[in-house]
């Protein structure tokens, strides 16, 4: 009987050892979650089963901050350039080098926000992007409205940052707050033709913007982690191409914020010109999304509803 009792005790000890070892392994796995490049969402929930799906409130805050940063850095670079050019003795003319710096500012801002909030809200930071994804049923209309409120408030907040940096009314009445205008189009085509050309260019520009967004951020087959870099450079390229014609907004929130704050602080701006920066981007965005859906027909490119219709691979590699 003694050997049997010893064997039973031995089996009991081994069983307790197995349970303890499994517990230690679980703790190790929970504390060593491997993050993909960009430091985005880990591939699994933590040991306690925490739900990492962003809430609508978190998405709202992310879009608010993202759009404010884009407006502050992008439109603010225009204010900075004009401030420096006007302050020179004698005043200097705006050049291609200045346009290049502004284009890179927008590229940096977009890339930074894609990698910062892309895994939270999808980093739309543009009502035209949200509208296009809602029209194609990648996000709900209720969620789209929340995104729009956040984006327009973000555009206004970003413009306030610019005003704070350059002297409030002094900025609004002097170098301006980076408000978009299509004076170049009007000077080339006259008033009527200028409006048509401006809407056309904003439509074409946003068409290609959404085409690139669909291919790099929404379609899960795209190489992981490149979306922010490519989208940022794409916007910079369009600023190089027709910046002097419409100032290349491609984004109603970025256009509204600086224009509205500039007027409220005593500056001048024809608010009717905002029609161009609403109609063009909204139309172009939808056309770009439909076109990508057509050329990739038969493939699943639904994106991730939890991330604002954007694929997880836009900013990270999914294991």
Half-sphere exposure of 21 (CA within 13 A, CB side): 6
- Give one DSSP letter per residue of 95-133, joined into a string: -HHHHHHHHHHHHHHHHHHHHHHHHHH----SHHHHHHH
Domain assignment present for residue 26? The answer is no
Domain assignment present for residue 13? The answer is no
Domain assignment present for residue 27? The answer is no
Q: Which pLDDT score is estimated for 53?
A: 87
Residue 196 vs residue 21, higher pLDDT? 196
Q: Are 249 and 94 in contact (CB under 8 A)?
A: no
Tally of domains within the chain: 1
The CATH number that applies at residue 263 is 1.20.1080.10
Instruction: Give the three-class secondary structure for 212.
Output: helix
Residue 99 vs residue 222, higher pLDDT? 99
Residue 252 pLDDT > 70: yes
Residue 194 pLDDT > 50: yes
> Per-residue confidence at 114, pLDDT binned at 50, 70, 90?
very high
Q: How far is CA 267 from CA 64, 93, 185, 254, 264, in A?
A: 25, 22, 22, 17, 7
Residue 17 pLDDT > 70: no
Domain assignment present for residue 24? The answer is no
The pLDDT tens digits for 262-307 are: 999 999 999 999 999 999 999 999 999 999 999 998 655 555 666 6
Domain assignment present for residue 14? The answer is no
Domain assignment present for residue 47? The answer is no
Domain assignment present for residue 10? The answer is no
Domain that holds residue 61: 56-314
Q: What are the residues facing 304 on neighbouring strands?
A: 310
Domain assignment present for residue 35? The answer is no
């Amino acid at each position: 009987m003694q050997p049997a009792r010893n064997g039973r005790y031995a089996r009991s000890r081994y069983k307790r050892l197995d349970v303890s070892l499994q517990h230690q392994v679980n703790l190790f796995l929970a504390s060593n979650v491997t993050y993909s490049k960009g430091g985005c969402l880990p591939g699994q929930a933590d040991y306690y089963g925490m739900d990492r799906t962003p809430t609508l409130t978190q998405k709202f805050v992310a879009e608010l901050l993202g759009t404010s940063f884009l407006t502050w850095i992008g439109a603010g670079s225009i204010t900075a350039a004009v401030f420096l050019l006007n302050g020179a003795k004698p005043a200097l003319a705006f050049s291609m080098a200045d346009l290049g710096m502004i284009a890179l500012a927008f590229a940096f801002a977009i890339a930074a926000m894609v990698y910062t909030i892309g895994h939270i809200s999808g980093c739309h930071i543009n009502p035209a992007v949200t509208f296009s994804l809602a029209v194609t049923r990648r996000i709900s209309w209720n969620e789209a409205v929340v995104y729009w409120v956040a984006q327009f408030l973000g555009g206004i907040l970003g413009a306030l940052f610019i005003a704070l940096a350059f002297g409030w009314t002094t900025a609004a009445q002097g170098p301006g707050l980076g408000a978009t205008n299509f004076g170049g189009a009007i000077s080339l085509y006259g008033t009527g033709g200028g409006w048509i050309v401006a809407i056309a260019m904003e439509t074409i520009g946003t068409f290609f913007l959404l085409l690139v967004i669909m291919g790099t951020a929404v379609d899960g087959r795209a190489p992981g982690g490149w979306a922010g870099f490519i989208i940022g450079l794409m916007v910079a390229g369009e600023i190089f191409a027709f910046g002097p014609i419409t100032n290349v907004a491609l984004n109603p929130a970025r256009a509204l914020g600086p224009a509205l704050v500039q007027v409220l602080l005593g500056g001048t701006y024809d608010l009717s010109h905002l029609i161009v920066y609403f109609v063009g981007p909204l139309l172009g965005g939808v056309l770009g999304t439909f076109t990508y859906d057509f050329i990739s027909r038969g493939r699943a490119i639904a994106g991730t509803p939890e991330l604002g219709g954007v694929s997880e691979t836009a900013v990270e590699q999914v294991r």
